[in-house]
A and B are shown apart, each in its own frame.
Chain A
Amino acid sequence: MSAVIDVRDLRTHIVTRWGTIKAVDGVSFALGEGETLGLVGESGSGKSMTCLSVVRLVPRPAARVVGGEVLLDGEDLMRKSDAEMQQIRGRKVAMILQDPMSSLNPVFSVGMQLREPLTMYHGLRGSAAAARAVELLAAVRIPSPAARLRAFPHQLSGGMRQRVVGAMAIAGPPRLLIADEPTTSLDLTIQAQYLGLLKELQQRHRFAMIFVTHNLGIVARTCDRVAVMYAGRIVETGPVRRLFTEPAHPYTRALLESIPRFGVRRARLTAIAGQPPDLATLGTGCAFAPRCPAAFDRCVEAPPETDVAPGHAARCWLHGA
C-alpha cells in the first residue's frame, strides 16, 4: 500500500520572547487511502500545530516549519511554492475546524461561499457551479439543499453549519482531510450524526483522514490508528484496539485510567499528578517524566522511539534500549 500522506520528522518552532518553543518536535506518521489517524493529546501538545504544519499554514513569522518532509502522494509539500500550495489546499487537502463560524464568512450566503472554490479550482461558473453546490449540500445530508443556498450562516444551526463546511471540504474531492476537533462544539446526538457522515464520505471518496480530538471515545469509534502527542512529540502510536488494550507508554495508560467509564464504579479515578508541561521551560529528557509514576534515572535523557509490536511504537525507556 502506498501512503497518501507520509510525514517524516516534521519540526515546527515558535519564536517567543521567552525563547524558542519546539511545538512540533520530530513528528512522523503515514496514512493510506481510506485510513484514519486519531491524533490525541492535551491542549498545547502540538496536535493542531502538526496539522497546520502539514498544510503550511503555521502563523508566520513567529512559527516556522524548520525541518522534515510532508509527502502527499509522493510529492513533498515543503518544496512547493506558495501558489502551488494554494492549489493543493483547494483541491487535495481539506480542513474542518472546531468552530464552523470561523470557517464560514457571516456576510456571504452559503451558496456564494460554496461556489467560490468551485470557480477557483474547478472552473465551474453560473448554473454549473450552482448545480454542483446543490449536489455537495445534498451529499452532506442537508435537507432541501437548493433552498439552503440562499441561507446565511447565522440562519443555520451549529450542526448544519458544520455540514456546510464538510460540503466545501469534499468539493475537491480531497486526498487528505484534516478534521481538527470537528464535533467538539456540537451536541451529543448531532455529534454522532456528524461522525457517521464523515465515515460515509470517507468510504465514498477514499481520502486519508487525520482526526484531531481529545475524546478517546471518538477515537475508539472512528479511527484505525492513534498517535498520542505529549509536548510536541508522538509518545505512542499504534492500531486503536492494541493501544487501548495494551498501552505501552505510561502517559497513554494514565490517560485511559483517568477517564470515568460506564459500569465501572470506582471510589476514585486514577488522576494524573501535576500539570501539563510548559514548552518554554522544557528540559532535554522525557517531557512526561515529572508526572510519570514509573520514572527512573534514565528519563533525564530523551527516549528514542521503540517498537513494542508490529505497527505499535512508544517513546519510553521502559521499552527496550
Chain B
Amino acid sequence: MAPHTPPPLGAPRQSRDAPRSSGAARPLLEVANLTKHFVVRSGALGWSSGVVRAVDSVSFAIPAGATLGLVGESGCGKTTTSKLILALETPTAGSIRFEGRDVATLGREGKRAYRRSVQAVFQDPYASLDPRMRVATIVAEPLVINADLDAAGRRRRVAELLDLVGLPERAATLYPHEFSGGQRQRIAIARALALSPKLVVLDEPVSALDVSIRAQILNLLMDLQQRLGVSYLFIAHDLAAVAHTSRTIAVMYLGKIVEIGDADTVALTPKHPYTRALFAAALPIDLDRPPDEVAVAGEVPSPLAPPGGCRFHPRCPFAMPHCATDEPALRPESGRLVACHLY
C-alpha cells in the first residue's frame, strides 16, 4: 500500500469515502461487546491477584460526521474505552469495526491505515506538546512518517492546518510556551487533523482551559466537524458541554453503559437513577427549574470487587431486592436504552 497522502482540507469527505462505503447507513465506528480486563497483582510476591473489569461488554456506534459523548465519573472506564479505540490497548473480548471491517483482523498495513484514521486530542495542552519543538515541527510530525510529502509540501500543509484552527501563519515558527492554553489546544487540534482522520477522540478537550476560552474551542471543534465531516468521540465530565456537542450520549458506570441514546433525550429526561443523579449534580444554571434531586449515597465501589446484580444498586435510592442479584440488560425505554429494573 502506498503511503497515505492527505487530501486537501475542505475537500468533500464523500468523494474520498465513496469507493469504500457500501451503504449510507453503516456507522463509521461500531463497537460490540467491547471488554477489557486488567489483572492486578498485590501482596508480597504478587500472589494474590484480582481482575479489574475496566470495560465490560460495551456497545455503541458512531456515524460518520457525528459525535458520541461518553460521560461518567473517574474510574468508570471512559479512558480505557478510548484507549481501546485508539489501539493503545488490546481488547480482552468484543470487537471494534471501523468502516465495516473488524480492526482485530486487519493486517500490518491495515492497522497503520486505521491508526492514521483515528487521532486524539488530550486534556492538558501543556503536557501534550513538546516544549522544545517549534509549532511547525509539532504539527508536521505525523506527516513525516505517514504522508508522502516533501519538506515544502509539509510546510504548505502546516500552514493550511494552522489557518484551519484559527492560528496566524507566524505561529509555525514559535514554541508552545509562547501560546496561551486555548491557543495550545488549537495546536493540538491541528496536529490531530494533520492526517485527515475520520475519527478524533477528544478526551476532556476543554476542561483545562479558562471558562471564557472554552466556548471558542467548542465552537472550533463543531466548525471543523461541519467542514471536514470528521466524527468525534467526546469524553468529558462537563455534561452541558457534552450535551451541546454530541448527537448521542452514553453514560458509563463501573465499566458498563447504563444509559445510551439521543443527546437531548438523555440530557433532558434522564431515566437511569445514576444518569439522573449525574445530571442533577451537573448543576444547571436554570434558577427557576430546580434540578431533579437524586441523592446518591456513598462512593464508587472498588472496580476490583464490583457489587453483584446492578453495579449501581448499593448507591441507588430506588434499589429493589432483585437489583442485588439480577444484572439488568440495556432495554429500550422512551427512545433510549436503559439498564435498570425500574423500567
Contacts and interface: CB of A to CB of B under 8 A. Distances in A.
A258 B280 contact: no
A191 to B, nearest CB: 6
Contacts of A258: 211-212, 214-215
B299 A261 contact: no
A136 B216 CA distance: 45
Contact of B300 (A43, A187, A268): A187
B73 A188 contact: yes
A3 interface: no
Contacts of A268: 219, 222
B287 A220 contact: yes
B72 to A, nearest CB: 9
Interface stretch (A96-104, A147-155, A270-278): A270-278
Given A244-B285, A255-B211, A192 B218 contact: no
Contacts of A245: 287
A200 interface: no
Interface string A267-295: 11111100110000000000000010000
Interface in B271-297: 277-287, 295-296
A193 interface: yes
A69 B186 CA distance: 43
B293 to A, nearest CB: 9
Interface residues of B, number: 42
A126 to B, nearest CB: 33
Contacts of B238: 260
A276 B296 contact: no
B244 interface: yes
A196 B73 CA distance: 19
Contacts of A192: 277, 280-281, 283, 295-296
A189 B214 contact: no
A17 interface: no
B180 interface: yes
Interface string A138-163: 00000000000000000001011000
Max count, chain A CB within 10 A of own CB: residue among B73, B74, B244, B245:
B244
Contacts of B239: 188, 262
Contacts of A270: 215
A262 B240 contact: yes
Interface string B64-76: 0000000001100
A115 B183 CA distance: 47
A216 interface: yes
B264 interface: yes
Interface of A: 42-43, 157, 159-160, 187-193, 196, 214-218, 220-221, 240-241, 244-245, 254-256, 258-263, 265-272, 275-276, 291
Interface of B: 73-74, 180, 182-183, 210-216, 218-219, 222, 237-241, 243-245, 264, 267-268, 277-287, 295-296, 299-300, 315
21 contacts: A159-B299, A188-B282, A189-B296, A191-B281, A192-B277, A193-B295, A217-B285, A241-B287, A244-B285, A255-B212, A258-B212, A260-B215, A260-B218, A260-B241, A262-B239, A265-B264, A272-B213, A272-B215, A275-B182, A275-B213, A291-B212
